[in-house]
């Protein structure tokens, strides 16, 4: 009798609203997820990401075997008809994804609240092991093409499926997504290992996305099989045994909703492609406070073993090729001095030898690129906190501006590469200026003479080819004022803990 009551109860307003918002956010998540995959359209079950070891790829090209290339070359731009926003806008795609995640999680919390504060949870949660034989019977009924098995309100197979999607697949998606955060992985290196490693988590996240797509297709197909108009009346109006007029109203509202959904996607795509800066500002306003509070403060505690080191790590971005850099590279940066200036009590000017004598530190960590690939490497260098102790920043200093030799010749007209790091972040454990990698001097492919290492961040925030550092109060007047070359040009975030 209790279940019959549930069926008569229908869907309360909270369930209907969260169902609608779920559609909005899931579609945004899927399209922006496709954009993110395009950043590195390959999936692995190993954290070394050796070329050729991917289990699946979504690109029409492989890289040269007789020439050197970098991970940047592997990107596969997707059409805006599929990806949000498409055309190789990884930074914007990520922000759309994260903002949609926030909306989706809030929707999920609201839905759970409705479930636990009403009898609605009984729709989804099996209360007896009888659900398994009943689900088998329901499956046979579907197979024999008899009338769709009825339930009060769901048949056992439907109940198990909905339960699985909401209480198994959804948490799995959330957890595998979190496992890809460099801040979380840095602070809790065991966390991604629960899924077999960072790349396995990425693969599972993708498989979960596909499962959501498959569920959605089957869900819609079965709603049609069970009676489309009755289903729409139930989920739109909350009405069971609807009249013809109510069917018409439900269809009209559904069509209007779908039109609005399409309009939202068209607007989001066009606005992102035509006005990327404005869209980035809006999305950052929503998501930056979230990541700054929850993830950025996490400090890295990675301690990988030498046996974990990746044999052939991917480089990213081509080295500078202007004469000054090439000459310095040729003579091993002999005579070059690293300058520490700006808001400091004691400016520094150090040779590489002098830097090497400053409390050298070494750790083995995972390098996590925004594109999705990773590798494990040993880094040795000087902790930034040691440099800061030597130069003694003044009270006004809030950020460190890293200037580099990188002329970004691959993207002419966008200025030289620079990065801005919070002073607090600079003092975090395992944050260093590295001059060596895997017990070798840093090569030009990986950022010689110096590169930044911040092990709770994505790789793009770790400037390579560092030439000097300057303590500053504000970065608004540097470049385009977003705190880094990549935020300025590629619409990436200034901080990258996820």
Burial class (CB in 10 A: 0-12, 13-18, 19+), 339: middle
CA distances from 309 to 184, 366, 376, 456 (A): 20, 9, 5, 18
- Taking the least distance from each CB to another protein, the nearer of 315 and 342 is 315
CB of 228 to another protein, least distance (A): 12
53 binds another protein (CB under 8 A): yes
63 binds another protein (CB under 8 A): yes
308 binds another protein (CB under 8 A): no
Among 45, 69, 188, 215, binds another protein (CB under 8 A): 69
- Taking the least distance from each CB to another protein, the nearer of 58 and 215 is 58
Sheet (strand 338-342) strand order: 348-350, 338-342, 466-472, 399-404, 418-422
- Taking the least distance from each CB to another protein, the nearer of 24 and 433 is 433
> Contacts with another protein in 387-416 (CB under 8 A)?
410
Candidates 154-162, 326-334, 388-396, 416-424 — which segment interacts with another protein by CB under 8 A? 326-334
Among 113, 168, 194, 224, binds another protein (CB under 8 A): 224
Among 13, 116, 143, 245, binds another protein (CB under 8 A): 143
- Taking the least distance from each CB to another protein, the nearer of 221 and 248 is 221
333 binds another protein (CB under 8 A): yes
Residues 6 or more apart from 225 whose CB is under 8 A from it?
148
Among 227, 260, 306, 332, binds another protein (CB under 8 A): 332
73 binds another protein (CB under 8 A): yes
Which DSSP string corresponds to 372-417?
S-EEEEEEEEEEHHHHHHHH-B-TT--EEEEEES---TTSTTS---
Among 14, 72, 265, 304, binds another protein (CB under 8 A): 72
50 binds another protein (CB under 8 A): yes
- Taking the least distance from each CB to another protein, the nearer of 104 and 375 is 375
330 binds another protein (CB under 8 A): yes
Residues 6 or more apart from 382 whose CB is under 8 A from it?
355, 356, 358, 359, 360, 361, 432, 433, 435
Letters for 430-449 (x = contact with another protein by CB under 8 A, - = none) are -------xx-xxxxxxx-xx
- Taking the least distance from each CB to another protein, the nearer of 179 and 329 is 329
CB of 411 to another protein, least distance (A): 9
How far apart are alpha carbons 47 and 367 in whole angstroms?
Answer: 10
CA distances from 288 to 90, 256, 388, 495 (A): 17, 33, 27, 8
Q: Are 482 and 167 in contact (CB under 8 A)?
A: no
CA distances from 41 to 33, 38, 62, 181, 371 (A): 11, 5, 11, 18, 9
Structure-block tokens of residue 317: 């971005």
CB of 191 to another protein, least distance (A): 27
Binding-site ranges for another protein (CB under 8 A): 41, 50-69, 72-76, 140, 142-146, 218, 221, 224-225, 311-313, 315, 318, 329-330, 332-333, 377, 410, 437-438, 440-446, 448-449
């Amino acid at each position: 009798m209790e279940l019959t009551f549930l069926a008569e109860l229908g869907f309360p307003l909270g369930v209907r609203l969260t169902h609608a918002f779920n559609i909005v956010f899931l579609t945004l998540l899927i399209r922006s997820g496709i954009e993110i995959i395009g950043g590195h359209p390959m999936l692995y079950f190993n954290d070394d990401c050796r070329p050729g070891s991917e289990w699946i790829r979504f690109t029409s090209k492989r890289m040269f075997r007789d020439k050197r290339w970098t991970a940047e070359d592997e990107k596969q731009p997707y059409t805006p008809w599929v990806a949000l926003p498409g055309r190789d806008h990884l930074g914007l795609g990520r922000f759309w994804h994260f903002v949609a995640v926030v909306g989706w999680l809030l929707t999920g919390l609201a839905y759970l609240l409705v479930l636990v504060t009403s009898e609605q949870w009984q729709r989804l949660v099996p209360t007896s092991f009888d659900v398994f034989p009943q689900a088998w019977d329901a499956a046979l009924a579907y197979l024999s093409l008899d009338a769709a098995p009825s339930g009060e309100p769901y048949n056992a197979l439907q109940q198990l499926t909905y339960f699985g999607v909401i209480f198994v697949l959804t948490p799995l998606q959330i957890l595998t997504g979190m496992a890809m955060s460099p801040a979380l992985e840095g602070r809790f290196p065991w966390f991604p290992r629960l899924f077999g490693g960072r790349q396995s988590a990425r693969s599972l996240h993708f498989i979960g996305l596909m499962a959501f797509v498959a569920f959605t297709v089957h869900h819609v197909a079965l709603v049609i099989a069970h009676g489309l108009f009755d289903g729409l009346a139930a989920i739109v109006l909350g009405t069971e045994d609807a009249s013809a007029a109510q069917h018409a109203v439900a269809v009209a509202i559904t069509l209007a909703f779908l039109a609005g959904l399409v309009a939202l996607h068209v607007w989001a795509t066009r606005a992102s492609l035509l006005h990327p800066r404005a869209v980035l500002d809006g999305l950052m306003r929503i998501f930056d406070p979230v990541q700054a509070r929850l993830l950025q403060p996490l400090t890295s505690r990675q301690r990988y073993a030498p046996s974990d080191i990746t044999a052939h790590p991917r480089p990213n971005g081509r080295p500078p090729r202007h004469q000054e850099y090439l000459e310095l590279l040729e003579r091993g940066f002999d005579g070059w001095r690293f300058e520490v200036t700006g808001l400091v009590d004691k400016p520094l000017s150090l040779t590489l030898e002098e830097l090497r004598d400053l409390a050298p530190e070494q750790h083995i960590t995972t390098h996590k690129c925004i594109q999705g690939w990773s590798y494990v490497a040993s880094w040795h260098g000087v902790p930034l906190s040691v440099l800061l102790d030597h130069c003694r920043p003044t009270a006004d200093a809030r950020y460190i501006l890293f200037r580099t030799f990188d002329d970004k010749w691959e993207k002419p007209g966008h200025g030289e590469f620079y990065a801005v790091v919070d002073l607090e972040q600079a003092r975090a454990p395992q944050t260093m200026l590295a001059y060596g990698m895997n017990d070798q001097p840093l090569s030009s492919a990986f950022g010689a003479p110096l590169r930044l290492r911040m092990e709770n961040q994505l790789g793009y925030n770790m400037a390579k080819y560092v030439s000097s550092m300057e303590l500053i109060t504000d970065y608004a007047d540097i470049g385009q004022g977003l705190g880094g070359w990549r935020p300025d040009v590629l619409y990436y975030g200034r901080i990258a803990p996820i």
